[in-house]
Structure 1
């Protein structure tokens, strides 16, 4: 079973860089497999993020809690996605974000030290992780632009079109938080869209 789970990760990595069988064995010997229950935290705000995580199954949310106790969701992650507080992981400083499981979630986890060891042992993995981080950075920049250039309705339509598999799996108030609107306003947007169909 673990070999099958590892193969999911290898298939994902091999879409970006080609690993030899020997390199695949080294990689799989270094990873941690872990299952979290719904509601459990992978990272908590203020703690140092110790792992970069590949989602095998399940769903997580990444969010910041402000001084008033308001939750601001910045990302969801499902199968074949990565999750962590990247800033905390890269700098090994306290996390600005929480990562919490919205479902029972199976992960493949890389510790900071293991990633560094893997870069030395398999240099092409450094290229792979650079590509992943670059894509995440571009997505984050585009999201910032959408947040101040699109209406709430257009942001919701974009979210629904871009992430159709996520919307069915998470509560409406979390989608509203991600979009930066109230759940009542999201309900109104959805009603308007249904009415216009």
Structure 2
């Protein structure tokens, strides 16, 4: 159960077995069914989650009442509302499972305990936040600069299996286009 998360955090820092054992002790294993909410708008996010198995989405509802997906999280990735988690403020987001999921979760209290016992994790989580910021900035630029077909091709490159796992209207929401327009884009592209 811990091998994937150990590989994930060990990309950035080397840990002893004892340090990883402390890490495991603060993690909670959660199995969550498809179509369940881990977080709803207005709640305070009390977790950071590593996806062992499954797929989740993070989204908000815009002023027109439409869902806007800002993140998909699949195996070997993390999901949370970091602003709500760190600042203890109500979230602007929903986090929902799109498949049955197995997650490794920790709370703010458990994270603080981990950081005080194994300070090396400060570096890991700093790098994870930096990588997340980089991805978010690239996505913002991508949305502004590139056409819908270019954004879709970029999506397929970064998430090669996701188009077979989630409904097309979710992908359209993530790309900032309608499901109908995504259908037209897909028809015009060569088959892979």
TM-score (norm 1): 0.94
**1:25, distance to aligned residue in structure 2 (A):** 1.2
Q: Which runs of 5+ in 1 are unaligned?
A: none
Say which of 95, 106, 114 aligns to 1:118. Answer: 114
Q: Which runs of 5+ in 2 are unaligned?
A: none
Determine the structure 2 residue equivalent to 1:53. 49
Determine the structure 2 residue equivalent to 1:78. 74
Determine the structure 2 residue equivalent to 1:173. 169
**1:55, distance to aligned residue in structure 2 (A):** 0.2
Any residues of structure 2 matched to 1:121-160 within 5 Å, and which? 121-160=117-156
**1:68, distance to aligned residue in structure 2 (A):** 3.2
What CA deviation, in whole Å up to 9, does each residue of 1:36-92 have, x standing for no partner? 100001111110000000000000000001243210001101000001111111111
Determine the structure 2 residue equivalent to 1:89. 85
Determine the structure 2 residue equivalent to 1:29. 25
Q: Distance in 2 between matches of 1:129 and 1:7?
A: 18
Is 1:10 matched with 2:17?
Answer: no
Structure 1 SS opposite 2:151 = helix
Which deviates the most, 50-59 or 87-96?
A: 87-96
**1:168, distance to aligned residue in structure 2 (A):** 1.2
Q: Distance in 1 between matches of 2:44 and 2:96?
A: 15
Which one has a larger percent helix, Structure 1 or Structure 2?
1
Number of residues paired by the alignment?
192
Say which of 105, 109, 114 aligns to 1:109. Answer: 105
What CA deviation, in whole Å up to 9, does each residue of 1:7-33 have, x standing for no partner? 221122112111111111111111100
User: Root-mean-square deviation (CA), in Å?
Assistant: 1.2
Determine the structure 2 residue equivalent to 1:98. 94
Structure 2 SS opposite 1:194 = coil
Q: Distance in 1 between matches of 2:3 and 2:129?
A: 22
Structure 2 SS opposite 1:16 = coil
Q: Distance in 1 between matches of 2:176 and 2:155?
A: 12
Is 1:188 matched with 2:184?
Answer: yes
TM-score (norm 2): 0.96
